[in-house]
Amino acid sequence: MAYVCRNYDEALGTFALRKPVRSTKWQPNERPLDPRPQTHHRLIEGSNSYGKYFDVKLYQTVMARFYEPKVEDGKRVERRLYMGHGSQTSQQFMYHTLSVDFGANRLRDSEDRYSDESIIMPIYSKHFMYDEDNTPFSLDAVFVDGVLDTAQSEHTPHYRLVADTDVRKFKQRVAAHFEPYIMLAQMRMPEFRASCDINYRLGQKFGGEGFNRAYYMAIQEMWTDPEPRQQDIDVFFEMCQKAYDIIASKRGMQQPDFQVGGSWYSRQNGNKNSTVDELAKPIEMTEFRRAILDRIHKYVGSNSMKKPEEVKQFPKHSEYPRSNIQT
């Protein structure tokens, strides 16, 4: 991974430290970020009407542009432009080299600590501006004496999805339609408990399940057909079992004395895994029902009917809808 380069001063120091690369693949104003030149990690010196700057480039994307700081009214003003990218390589580069995260960046408050009042500085993969040389960026951040000035800064507009009256009524109809099946699933909770598979893959952060076509086809059939096929009902209960497994796995991962199967630690200890009976907090009927209903709405399409509502620029941590944000 490339060396750390978080601002103009660090970029200037790295540029001065590195020697020009004697190759037709490198321009005179380019330097490698690493001591051993890597063509996909570049530090590029440039200038425009705003001032001098350094670009931090990964492959074909300028991930950051650091402008030379200025002094205005006795205060140090530094402008930094960022562009996010969703690939794993780019996210790692942003974290290790630029010391920022793809998506939400939670800044420290006035007392140099994290709190609900902390500002969220987002870096998205969708640009909202072009600089003078037509390079796209998703965040234009201005720091005054090292603190983000939200009045002078701007980022790609972002939105959260909200349900209006029509959407809420539709979701109520969906819930009422599937209520008999949900009740049957709740009655079968002892069966799901006995067959529970607690797994590291399901319980880890961002783990669980993605889109499952078999579940989608079954739920669609049960939603549109007054007398669905037994095989679709069987797939529905299979989905319920997976929902139970995920709840149990995530709860086990959060419990200090719980050993989850499938992890490196579990394999080193002879796969002596904990069971669902060892969960400190058993899975309750209400949360199981909610998990099933969430999946039903997902595959029926209830959530796609929600309307986008713009979230203000640089919201507080308490105002940022992490699980419901789009650009």
Please give the pLDDT value at position 270. 54
Domain residue spans of the chain:
8-157, 164-305
Strand partners, 66: 54, 80
Tokens of 321: 């809808």
Angle formed by the axes of helices 165-187 and 285-300, to 10°? 130
Q: Which of 100, 93, 15 is nearest to 57 (CA)?
A: 93
Structure confidence at residue 205 (pLDDT): 67
User: What residues contact residue 248 under an 8 Å CB cut-off, 6+ apart?
Assistant: 196, 198, 276, 279, 283
Q: Which residues contact 306 (CB under 8 A, 6 or more apart)?
A: 161, 162, 163, 167
pLDDT at 268 over 80: no
Please give the Cα distance from 134 to 193 (Å, whole number).
57
Contact 138, 156 (CB under 8 A): yes
Structure confidence at residue 275 (pLDDT):
86
DSSP string across 139-196 = EEEEEETTEE-TTT-EE--EEEEE--HHHHHHHHHHHHHHHHHHHHHHHTHHHHHHT-
Confidence of residue 305 (pLDDT cuts 50, 70, 90): confident
Contact between residue 299 and residue 216 where contact means Cβ atoms under 8 Å apart = yes
pLDDT in tens, 232-266: 999 999 999 999 999 998 898 888 888 777 655 55
pTM above 0.75, yes or no: no
Nearest C-alpha neighbor of 325 from the set 314, 305, 309:
309
Res 271: pLDDT? 58
Residue 264, pLDDT score = 53
SS3 66: strand
Amino acid letter, residue 37? P
d(CA 243, CA 209): 9
Beta strands in the chain (DSSP E): 30-32, 41-47, 52-58, 61-67, 70-72, 75-82, 129-130, 136-137, 139-144, 147-148, 154-155, 158-162, 307-311
Estimate to the nearest angstrom the gap between the alpha carbon of 150 and the chain centroid. Answer: 22
Which pLDDT score, from 0 to 100, does residue 199 have? 85
Q: Is the confidence at residue 210, as pLDDT, over 60?
A: yes
| 21 CB neighbour count, 10 Å cutoff | 16
Structure tokens at 206: 């961002």
Q: Is the pLDDT of residue 301 over 60?
A: yes
User: Structure tokens of 23?
Assistant: 């190759």
**Which residues share a beta bridge with 161?**
308
The Cβ of residue 165 has, within 10 Å, a number of other Cβ atoms equal to 7
Mean pLDDT computed over every residue of the chain:
90
The overall longest dimension of the chain from CA atoms, in Å, is 75
